[in-house]
Each structure stands twice: as C-alpha cells, then as structure tokens.
Structure 1
C-alpha cells in the first residue's frame, strides 16, 4: 500500500460503515465525543469573553459544521475510484468547506 496505505484503509472503512449500521452508529458516536472534546479545547484556547456563549453553542456549531463538511468530502472521495491518495481527500475537503457559507443561506422557493 505504500505511503497512501492509510487512504485505502480509510476508503475500505467508510465502505464498511455504509453497509453496516452498527459500525456507522459507532463512527457517529465517536465523532460526537471528539467534537465535544474539541469544543472544550477551543473554550480554553480562545477568548470567549468578547461574545459570551454560556451553552457553548457557537463553538459546537463551528465544530459540527467542519465535521459535516469533512463527512461530505469523505463521501465524495470514497465514491470516486480515481482519487487514490490524500490529495484528493484534501481537495474534496477544501471544496466542502468553501460551500458551507452559501449552504447556510439557501433561498426558499417561491410559489
């Protein structure tokens, strides 16, 4: 597998999760715990006094948006067999992150 061996393992892992609900549930629970830990670190490392957020909503949403962008990027990368290395995943993640601001202001269809 060489230097990109991790990429193939990640791709196989994601394909397994897509077919196995219990594995996907474990993955989602792990992501949720990891997100909570990241928020704790953020709250210690960032000056939260400028915009107080007693419930941690803003940092948690920031982490959740990044996690959602990563999941969509990973989904796209796994589905494309021509993308075999980490560069393709990084490109997909950049595209997903760039799409976040516009996804927050989707206009409603008028009838």
Structure 2
C-alpha cells in the first residue's frame, strides 16, 4: 500500500507495520518543515533532519526521494488522492472539467490531518523562496498532469486520442488550483481546507466567464 495515500482506509485498520511507516512519514514531514522554516532549507542537512526524527538516512530514502519532496509532501498527498479519485469517480454525464473538479474537491475533503493546511502553506512559502523546491514543484505538477491525462484517456471514450481539449481541461484545473491557492494563502487569519475549497469553487465558477470577458482599452 502506498505511504502517501491510504486508499480511504482508516489508519486504525492498517497493519501495525504500515501504521509505523505512516507515523514515521508524518514525523519526517512535520520536522522537516519546522527545520526548513526556522533554519533555512539549504542550511538544514539531511543528517540533521534524520537525527531530529530518530531515523536513518536509509529510512528517509525509503520514504522520500529528496529534501524537496518532503517539503512539498502535504501538497503531493492532495494530488495523490486526486488521482485515486479520478480512477474511480463515475463520469456520468459531466464535462471533463466538472469531473476533474469533483475529483479534486473530493480529494481535498479527505485531507484529514490537523496540520495539513498549515503544512501546505509552509511548503508553498519554501517553494517561493527556494529555487530547487520550486523546480521540484513544477516537475511534480507536470508529472501529475500527465498521469491524470492517462487516466482520462483510459476511462473515457474519446473519438480522438490526441484531442487537445482534454489537456486544455486539465490545464484549466491546474490554473484554477494555483489561483485558488494564492487567494487562500493571502487571506487573513488561519486558512483552513474549507476555505481552500471555497476559493477553488469560486475559481471554477469563474472559468466560463473568462471566455466571454471583454473590457475597453485604457485611454
């Protein structure tokens, strides 16, 4: 079973070995984000992180591929859940954009960790300040988009396998997500995942209007 996403099973129902792995992963994420934020990403060594959690570097690399990956792990969890939902969600008569929207909002609702929203914000700030974290985020975004497209092409009956509208729909989802995340991060107070869902819905609702938006030229 993947460590990132427990396939909607309660952790209480997982075998003891898997629960320990998940606890170790959670400890690595929380400690890494704290150290990266207080000491700086570049100034925090992998040895220091592993010592703080009490695990070996071998254990770290069984869980994460790099410091960049652990920094963005909370966001990756959301997108792993999104892909899992996309594999099972009934398309019905929904548009592709609406199907993607439903999968993302369902995945967001499954982010149950008490610190998940806070950790996402910390990771976002690290990406804004650290080129290597930002580059990893872009790589992950593209990889996730390609996987989502593969799922859509597998599950949907498309007349043309190369139909660009499927990619356009995915790109609209990504754009709506980024704009929602920006608005969410900038709102006053302590942002919650419910706030995030509200921003996402607003951006999705604005998509049709963006195609008909007109404005006079400045004089």
Residue 99 of structure 1: how far off its partner (Å): 0.9
Contact 1:35 1:63 in 2 (8 A): yes
Instruction: State the partner residue of 2:134.
Output: 24
For residues 1-111 of structure 1, the aligned pairs below 5 Å read: 3-49=113-159, 52=160, 54-107=161-214, 109-110=216-217
Structure 2 residue runs without a partner (length 5+): 1-111
What's the RMSD between the two structures over aligned residues?
2.1
Question: 1 or 2 for the larger relative contact order (CA 8 Å, sep ≥6)?
Answer: 1
Alpha-carbon separation, structure 2, partners of 1:29 and 1:46: 26
Contact 1:17 1:23 in 2 (8 A): yes
Larger Rg: 2
Structure 1 residue runs without a partner (length 5+): none
SS at match of 2:212: coil
The alignment covers a number of residue pairs equal to: 108
Alpha carbons of 1:33 and 1:3: their partners in 2 closer, same or farther (altered >3 Å)?
A: closer
The TM-score, its normalising length taken from structure 2, stands at: 0.45
The TM-score, its normalising length taken from structure 1, stands at: 0.85
Alpha-carbon separation, structure 1, partners of 2:136 and 2:145: 14
Residue 107 of structure 1: how far off its partner (Å): 2.1
Contact 1:4 1:85 in 2 (8 A): no
Residue 3 of structure 1: how far off its partner (Å): 4.3
Residue 59 of structure 1: how far off its partner (Å): 0.9
